Amino acid sequence: MDGERHPGDKAGVETALASPAVQFEAVNHDDLIAIIQAVQAKGLLESDKSASLALGLKLWSEVVLEQRQNPMFAPLLGPMHEFIQRLESYDPSGNVK
């Protein structure tokens, strides 16, 4: 990660991020690479941001679905489903169907 700009760096100086790597296991039956590529192809965001969105949303939505009976997560189901549908129907011309 050498030379990567830290998002909080207001001076625009490139700095090496000193964050340790994150490692965990998450069970998922979907092809995560294909999902990332599909979101990137929509052109909604820059490529790396699209990849972050796709992966983060997929991992988060799996937890929300698994915990849908939990009162903390139940209110997220409707808005999450709506957002995912809007993202899936987004086309590169900037229209949401």
Read off the pLDDT of each residue in 61-86 and give the average, rounded to a whole number: 96
36 Cβ contact list (under 8 Å, min separation 6): 50, 51, 54, 55
Q: Which residue has the higher pLDDT, 22 or 65?
A: 65
Q: Which domain holds residue 84?
A: 1-97
pTM: 0.72
> What is the per-residue pLDDT for 55?
95
SS3 90: strand
Per the structure, the count of domains in the chain is: 1
Q: How does pLDDT run across 1-54, given as a tens digit for each residue? A: 444 555 555 555 555 567 788 888 888 889 999 999 999 999 999 999 999 999
